[in-house]
Chains A and B, each alone.
Chain A
Amino acid sequence: DAGVIQSPRHEVTEMGQEVTLRCKPISGHDYLFWYRQTMMRGLELLIYFNNNVPIDDSGMPEDRFSAKMPNASFSTLKIQPSEPRDSAVYFCASSPNTYEQYFGPGTRLTVT
């Protein structure tokens, strides 16, 4: 199994631009999670899906952030417009209906 796949691995963009992060979960996993990691706040859960349905988006910082899961093998996290304070590493994780989550390699986002 290829594991959780995220793209791009690195993204550098200018303030005000739209950013789209992509995730392919492990096949057969029912749960998908989006996290953000920063030095100040550590690893924070932004949103998670169960069977493609968003369950809890209380961690999404602002309306500038949105996430979708159109099918079981693909999810996107979009930031529009992006701001310098959005600079962080964004992780996607999936889970087969257990407590253990399997993380992707992350996308390092830099907004200048």
Chain B
Amino acid sequence: DQQVKQNSPSLSVQEGRISILNCDYTNSMFDYFLWYKKYPAEGPTFLISISSIKDKNEDGRFTVFLNKSAKHLSLHIVPSQPGDSAVYFCAANRAGSYQLTFGKGTKLSVIP
């Protein structure tokens, strides 16, 4: 049973345009969400997070939106750059636990 789902295995975007990566979750106990970025042959690195008490969090070119009623979050990258090409993982956490549940990832390719 996959509690965190990233339904798009891959996404291609032109440099300078917006990249939108989506994530859905099923467990209503999740209250903190994170996005990780992974380059080949490296471990995932933390990118941005959002608490369930917020609906938006912004950090430079990266913005995460949370829609609790729909159990959906998205990561927006504006403008997209070739160095953003990587696999992006969505992760979720339950209150009182430091255990993360990850989605399977979306491979983003930013075309120059």
Q: Which residues of A contact B (CB under 8 A)?
A: 4, 31, 33, 42-45, 48, 50, 56, 91, 93, 95, 97-106
The B interface is mostly helix, strand or loop, or mixed, namely strand
The residue in chain A whose Cβ has the minimal distance to the Cβ of B93 is A99
CA distance A98 to B32 in the complex (A): 11
A31 contacts B43, CB within 8 Å? no
Q: A33-B100, A99-B93, A106-B42 are in contact. List 13 more A-B contacts (CB 8 A).
A: A43-B104, A45-B101, A48-B99, A93-B43, A97-B98, A98-B98, A101-B46, A101-B98, A103-B36, A103-B45, A104-B43, A105-B41, A106-B43
Name, among B41, B43, B103, B104, the residue most crowded by chain A CB atoms within 10 Å (CB to CB): B43
Q: By the criterion of a CB under 8 Å from any partner CB, how many residues of chain B are at the interface?
A: 20
Q: How many A-B residue pairs have CB under 8 A?
A: 51
For the complex formed, measure the closest distance between the CB of B8 and the CB atoms of chain A, giving whole angstroms: 14
The residue in chain A whose Cβ has the minimal distance to the Cβ of B41 is A105
CA distance A13 to B46 in the complex (A): 32
Chain B residues whose C-beta falls within 8 Å of the C-beta of A104 in the assembled complex: 43
